[in-house]
């Protein structure tokens, strides 16, 4: 029997499993009525995949829009059909002329705002179908260039044609495309051999739980053991200022009456019932103090 469950699970997605497959598996293990993930990871990729249950799905856009951190290992000297090691090698070049100075120079070229054309082997959808599924059928769809931002591109190690990087980037950044474009700039080609998401918004790698660990807990047939791994809904909103409402203000809010918070600065705020220390939702305070409701959780 499915149950109403609210909160966020930080899944360590395994490799060779789509984000949707991971979501459906977790949803089933938790017997959750409603769940959604916040930003696809490629089949090859592992790492942080936040799963939102129930009312948390109303606020998933905040995580979708958040910055991401990745650890990526790429192979210089070879380009593949997919941009990663799962594809066929289509072109090879010597890397003997590549220097550390050349690598640093290329890294600088990708600092800040850049334009990317998503790979056909990405999880981006076209008419409801992931591009990678279409690509495997030999279908190629025209993709529009998109502007993303690279906040930091850190060289971790360069050894025997393996280029290891840490990437801090904006939403919508395709790491395999980034690696391919860097390979072109270096004149030798490159593809991803390992990719792991380390951070997403306020969440970090050390908070994750592996799918195998969830499966072991589920075997004990005690849902309370699983639920201990669920974070509160507003944990994804830690960068948004909190406004505490009195009991009377909370009642007015829930009855749809207008609220004026003239002692608060204008902007998006996280609303909390001070009496019960309970998250209520998101609102925006206008100049003059009027509170506009964005999203409220069901009580």
- SS3 readout for the chain: CCECCCEEEEEEECCCCCHHHHHHHHHHHCCECCEEECCCCCCCCEEEEEEEEHHHHHHHHHHHCCCEEEEEEEEECEEECCCECCCCEEEECCCCCCCHHHHHHHHHHCCEEEEECCCCCCCCEECCEEHHHHHHCCCCCCCCCEEEEEEEEEEEEEECCEEEEEEEECCCCCHHHHHHHHHHHHCCCEEEEEEEEEEECCEEHHHCEEHHHHHHHHCCCCHHHHHCCCECHHHHHCCCCEEEECHHHHHHHHCCCCCECCCCCCEEEEEEECCCCEEEEEEEECCCCEEEEEEECCC
Same domain, 134 and 213: no
Same domain, 78 and 174: yes
In a domain, 77, yes or no: yes
- Structure confidence at residue 297 (pLDDT): 92
Same domain, 175 and 87: yes
Is the model's pLDDT at 128 over the cut of 80?
no
- Structure confidence at residue 241 (pLDDT): 94
In a domain, 1, yes or no: no
**Average of per-residue pLDDT across 24-46:** 93
- Structure confidence at residue 162 (pLDDT): 96
Domain containing residue 254: 240-296
CATH number reported for the structural domain that contains residue 262 in this entry = 2.30.130.10
In a domain, 162, yes or no: yes
Same domain, 51 and 155: no
**Average of per-residue pLDDT across 204-217:** 97
**Cα 50 to Cα 207: distance, rounded to the nearest angstrom:** 10
Same domain, 176 and 147: yes
In a domain, 48, yes or no: yes
Q: How many domains does the chain have?
A: 3
**Average of per-residue pLDDT across 141-157:** 93
Is the model's pLDDT at 142 over the cut of 90?
no
What confidence category does residue 144 fall into, taking pLDDT thresholds of 50, 70 and 90?
Answer: confident
Name the average pLDDT for the chain. 93
Task: Judge whether 115 counts as a catalytic residue.
Answer: no
Same domain, 129 and 173: yes
What confidence category does residue 247 fall into, taking pLDDT thresholds of 50, 70 and 90?
Answer: very high
Domain endpoint, select from 213, 233, 253: 233
Same domain, 194 and 285: no
Same domain, 103 and 185: yes
Same domain, 216 and 110: no
CATH number reported for the structural domain that contains residue 37 in this entry = 3.30.2350.10
In a domain, 119, yes or no: yes
In a domain, 2, yes or no: no
Percent over 90 (pLDDT), the chain: 78
Q: Which of 42, 84, 181, 234 is catalytic?
A: 42
**Average of per-residue pLDDT across 37-50:** 92
- Structure confidence at residue 140 (pLDDT): 81
Same domain, 272 and 218: no
In a domain, 42, yes or no: yes
- Structure confidence at residue 132 (pLDDT): 76
In a domain, 160, yes or no: yes
Same domain, 133 and 281: no
Is the model's pLDDT at 123 over the cut of 80?
no
């Amino acid at each position: 029997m499915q149950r109403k469950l609210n909160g966020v699970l930080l899944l360590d997605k395994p490799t060779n499993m789509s984000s949707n497959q991971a979501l459906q598996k977790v949803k089933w293990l938790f017997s959750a009525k409603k769940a959604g993930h916040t930003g696809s990871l490629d089949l090859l990729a592992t790492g942080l995949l936040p799963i939102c249950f129930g009312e948390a799905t109303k606020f998933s856009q905040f995580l979708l829009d958040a910055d991401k951190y990745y650890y990526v290992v790429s192979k210089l000297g070879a380009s593949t059909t997919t941009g990663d090691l799962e594809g066929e090698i289509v072109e090879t070049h010597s890397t003997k002329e590549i220097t550390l100075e050349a690598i640093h120079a290329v890294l600088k070229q990708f600092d800040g705002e850049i334009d990317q054309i998503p790979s056909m082997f990405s999880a981006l959808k076209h008419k409801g179908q992931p591009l990678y599924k279409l690509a495997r059928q030999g279908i190629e769809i025209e993709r529009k260039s998109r502007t993303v931002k690279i906040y930091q591109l850190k060289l971790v190690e360069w050894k025997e044609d393996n280029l290891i990087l840490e990437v801090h980037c904006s939403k919508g950044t395709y790491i395999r495309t980034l690696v391919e474009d860097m390979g072109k700039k270096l004149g030798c080609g490159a593809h991803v051999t390992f990719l792991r998401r380390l951070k997403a918004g306020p969440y970090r790698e050390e908070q994750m739980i592996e799918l195998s660990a969830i499966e072991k807990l589920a075997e004990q047939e005690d849902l309370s053991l699983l639920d201990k791994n669920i974070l509160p809904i507003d944990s994804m909103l830690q960068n948004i200022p909190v406004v505490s409402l009195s009991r009377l203000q909370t009642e007015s809010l829930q009855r749809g009456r207008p609220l004026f918070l003239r002692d608060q600065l204008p902007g998006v705020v996280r609303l909390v019932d001070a009496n019960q220390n309970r998250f209520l939702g998101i609102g925006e305070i206008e100049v003059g103090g009027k509170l506009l409701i964005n999203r409220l959780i069901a009580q």
